[in-house]
Structure 1
Amino acid sequence: MKYLTILSLSVLIACQPNNQKDIPEEAVQAESIYNEPGHHSESLTKVMHAHGGYEQWSKMKSLSYMKGEESTITNLQNRKIRLESPKQTIGFDGEVVWVTPDTIDASRARFYHNLYFYFYAMPFVVGDPGAFYEDVEPRELSGKTYNGIKISYGENIGDAPDDNYILWYDPETNKMEWLMYTVTYRSGEPSNTYKLIKYDQWAEVNGLLLPTAIQWHQFKDDSVGEMSNKVRFEDIKITEEVPSDSLFVMPVDAQIAPLNVGKG
C-alpha cells in the first residue's frame, strides 16, 4: 500500500516520547503530502464530494480515533502517526517506524503502523499524489450493481507500489460501499487476488462522512461470502488543529521497525 502497508493484526502499547518543541503550523503545512485536487478523475471527485469533498478533507490537520483499546492519532498533512495500546506504542516520525519498548517484536510494525488509517481514510486517501485512476465496468456485489474506480500507483510510491484498489460506489448517491485491494508488501510481487471490505456505517464529523465500522468479507471465485472480520471506530475526531509534533518523536528506548518487503 502507499502510505500504508498490509499485515495481520498486532497488539500495541503506550509509552511517552521525549519532549520536543512543536513545529510551527506553517512548517507542517509546508510538508503537506497533498497537491491540487485537479489531479483526480471525474468519478473519484464525485465520490469524494458525496463524502464531504476533498477540499474539506485537505483542510484537516489531525485525525484520531479509538479501535478497541488502541488509540491512533495522525497528522494528516505529513502522515506522521502514533498508535498506543496497553502493551506497546508504534510511531512514524516522517522517516522511520519506531516501536517501544525495545523488547517488543517489531517485525510487523512497518506493515501495521498505518494499516487501519489507510482503510479508515477511504475514499480521500486514494486522492494522494502518485495515483492513477481508471473507471471499470460496473459489477454486482451482493445483489446490487456498483460503479467502480481502479486505483494504481507509480513506481516508488510508498512501500508497496504494486498494490491496486478498486473502489465501488452507489451509482445514485456516489457513496463508497465496497473496497477491493491486493496485498503485495511482504512478497514484493504483484497480485491479482483481491480482498474485500464493506463500508456501510458512516458518521458525519466536521463536514466529512467517515466510517464508524468496516467489515471484511470472504471473496472467492468472484463471489461475496460471509463476513470474516469487523472493526469498529469510536471517539472519532478530525480537526484543523495541528497535533503536537512531540507525539511522533522516537523515544530513546525505542527500536526501529525493519522494512520487510520481499521477506515473506
Structure 2
Amino acid sequence: MKKISQLLILALLITACKNETKQESPIVDEVKAEDITTSIYPESMAKIFDAHGSIDNWNKMQTLSFTMEKPNGKEVTTVDLKTRAELIDTPTHMQGYDGSSIWIKNKGDNENDGSRAGFYRGLMMYFYAMPFIVGDDGIIYEDAEPLVFEGKTYPGILISYESGIGSSPDDQYIIYYDAESGQMQWLGYTVTYGKDGKSKEFKFIRYNNWQTINGLAVPKSIDWYKYENNVPTEKRNTVEFTNIVLSEKAADASMFSVAEGAMVIE
C-alpha cells in the first residue's frame, strides 16, 4: 500500500511539471513573434527603424497629426495610419480622403479647383512619417550608392514598389543614414504622379532635426535642397512641424467624410 501511495504521488508530481511547462510555452511563442517583425526587413533597414524607436512601436500608432506654418497661415494634417484616410485643413480650403474619395471644400472666395488634390494627398504625411512609412507591404529594398556630402559618407537604401502599390508605384526613394547610429539623414525621391515609367531625377530632403514623440523619433523640421546630377548642393527652404500627435487611439472616422458642399475630385 505504501508503494502504491508513493507511485501515486510521483505521478501527480510529473503531471504538475508537465502543466507548468505548457503554461510557459505561450511566453516563448510571444517572444518569437516579436522577433519576426523586424526580421522581414534587411538588416540595414531594421537598424534604421530601431534608431527611430522601432517599427513595432510605430505599428501601434493609429493617428498622426501635425501642423505646418505656410505663407498664408497654418496647415493642419490628420491621418488615420491604418486606413490612410486624411484631412488637410488650410486657411483657404479643406482637403480630405475618406478611404475611397478625394474631396475639397473651399473657404471664403477661394477657387481651388482641386486639380492637384490627388498629387497632394498623403504627400506631406509621407515625408513626415519617414522612415517608418517605407515599412509598408509591397516594398522592395536594395542597396544604393552612398551619398557623400560635405566630406561625410551616408550609406543608402533604395526603396521601390511592386506593381499596383499606391497611386504612384513608379516612385522611388533612397534613405541615406548615419552608418554608426542608423539614424536617417537624407531622403532622395522621384516624382512620377501623372507620368508613365520611372524617373531618373532625384530630389533631396535633409532630415537632421529630430524630436521624440511617444517613444518615436520624428522630424521637428526638414530641409529641401537644391540639387545637380542627383546630388544635393545647397539648402533651399525649411519646413517646420508643430503640435505633433502620435496616438494609439483611432481618430473619429467621420472627420474624413466628404464635407457638406465639397467637390469630389476622384
* Residue 153 of structure 1, CA deviation: 0.3
The reply to whether residue 88 of structure 1 matches residue 93 of structure 2 is yes
TM-score computed with the length of structure 1 as normaliser? 0.81
The reply to whether residue 152 of structure 1 matches residue 160 of structure 2 is yes
Find the counterpart in structure 2 of residue 205 from structure 1.
213
Aligned residues of 1:142 and 1:224 also touching (Cα < 8 A): no
The reply to whether residue 101 of structure 1 matches residue 101 of structure 2 is no
Aligned residues of 1:62 and 1:238 also touching (Cα < 8 A): yes
The reply to whether residue 256 of structure 1 matches residue 239 of structure 2 is no
Deviation track 1:206-231 (CA, whole Å, cap 9, x = no partner) reads 00000011111111024421211211
Aligned residues of 1:146 and 1:169 also touching (Cα < 8 A): yes
Equivalent residue letter for 1:48: F
Equivalent residue letter for 1:86: P
Find the counterpart in structure 2 of residue 46 from structure 1.
47
CA distance in 2, matches of 1:137, 1:48: 20
Aligned-partner SS, 2:186: strand
CA distance in 1, matches of 2:99, 2:257: 9
CA distance in 2, matches of 1:114, 1:225: 27
Aligned residues of 1:73 and 1:81 also touching (Cα < 8 A): yes
Larger radius of gyration: 2
Name which of structure 1's ranges 136-145 and 237-246 shifts more when overlaid on structure 2.
136-145
CA distance in 1, matches of 2:145, 2:231: 16
Aligned-partner SS, 1:233: strand
CA distance in 2, matches of 1:52, 1:184: 31
Find the counterpart in structure 1 of residue 61 from structure 2.
60
Find the counterpart in structure 2 of residue 70 from structure 1.
75
TM-score computed with the length of structure 2 as normaliser? 0.81
Deviation track 1:106-145 (CA, whole Å, cap 9, x = no partner) reads 0001111211100000000011100000122333123210
Equivalent residue letter for 1:47: I
Equivalent residue letter for 1:61: Q
* Residue 232 of structure 1, CA deviation: 0.6
Equivalent residue letter for 2:234: E
After TM superposition, the structure 1 = structure 2 runs for residues 1-264 of structure 1, keeping only pairs within 5 Å, are 37-68=38-69, 69-101=74-106, 104-258=112-266
Deviation track 1:1-26 (CA, whole Å, cap 9, x = no partner) reads xxxxxxxxxxxxxxxxxxxxxxxxxx
* Residue 41 of structure 1, CA deviation: 1.7
Aligned-partner SS, 1:111: helix
CA distance in 2, matches of 1:237, 1:162: 30
Which consecutive residues of structure 2, in runs of 5 or more, have no partner in the other structure? 1-35
CA distance in 2, matches of 1:200, 1:188: 33
Which is richer in helix? Answer: 2
CA distance in 2, matches of 1:222, 1:130: 25
CA distance in 2, matches of 1:223, 1:113: 27
Aligned-partner SS, 2:87: strand
* Residue 101 of structure 1, CA deviation: 3.2
Equivalent residue letter for 1:179: L
Aligned residues: percent identity? Answer: 40
CA distance in 2, matches of 1:223, 1:194: 8
Aligned residues of 1:136 and 1:147 also touching (Cα < 8 A): yes
RMSD: 1.6
CA distance in 1, matches of 2:115, 2:231: 33
